[in-house]
Amino acid sequence: MPTGVALRDPRQQLFEAAGRVLVRDGASELTSRAVTTEAGVAKGVLHRYFADFDAFLTELVLDRIAQVRAIGLRDAAGSGTVAGNLTSALTAGFDPVALALVVLVIARDELRTRLRAAGTARLPLVGEFTAVVVDYLKAERDLGRITAEADVDTLAPTLIGAAHLQFTEQKDGPAAPEAVRKVVIAVLAGVLAN
């Protein structure tokens, strides 16, 4: 007689559980036991798919980086408005799990070491998101929707930093898209083509 329950996608189930623990309890409470308990699986399940907990955390962050890259911001170039496209991407990219992952990466030396070995930016997730925004802004500059002299390598981290503050400073939940849009418009003032 079978004793276990088939897992739909064990890695994704563990990633989702880790996200819930991070958002609810914070980075200091994220342990392998907390993740497996949240996922409703035996602790051995995590170790069946990952060499150790830091390997799990590394894959968790790399999975989120892949999600940021898949937002499709570059594909939006030339459609909608520049401010609207950036507002949508920043709002999607800075969800509560992403914000909690930034804190986790900062808090765990071994995780940062492993992520750097995997080829991530110096500040994983934030650095990759910045690169996505740079790529988008270059495309919009090439299309003439932002001025030719726009310094996209400065604008992108400015947008990321200012938007990140909008999300981390909110006490009653995530930042409203309109607040993010105001930041985007302020940062892009003077470079949007008419």
pLDDT, tens digit, 9 for 90 and up, residues 9-21 = 899 999 999 999 9
Whole-angstrom distance, CA of residue 71 vs CA of residue 110? 28
pTM for the structure as a whole: 0.88
User: Is the pLDDT confidence value at 6 over 60?
Assistant: no
Q: Which pLDDT belongs to residue 188?
A: 96
Residues in the chain: 194
Which helix (H) or strand (E) segment is 33 a member of? Answer: helix 32-39
Please give the single-letter amino acid code of residue 51: A
The counts of H helices and E strands in the chain are: 10, 0
**CB-CB neighbours of 157 under 10 Å:** 16
Whole-angstrom distance, CA of residue 61 vs CA of residue 20? 14
Condensed to tens digits (0 to 9), the pLDDT of residues 88-130 reads 999 999 889 999 999 999 999 999 999 999 999 888 999 999 9
Tokens of 136: 């988008």
Which are the contacts of 82, defined by CB distance < 8 A and separation ≥ 6?
140, 145, 146, 188, 192
- What confidence category does residue 3 fall into, taking pLDDT thresholds of 50, 70 and 90? very low
Condensed to tens digits (0 to 9), the pLDDT of residues 27-83 reads 999 999 999 999 999 989 999 999 999 999 999 999 999 999 999 999 999 999 999
Q: What are phi and psi of 121, to 5 degrees?
A: -65, 165
Please give the single-letter amino acid code of residue 11: R
Q: Are 64 and 94 in contact (CB under 8 A)?
A: no
Q: Which pLDDT belongs to residue 2?
A: 39
Q: Which pLDDT belongs to residue 76?
A: 97
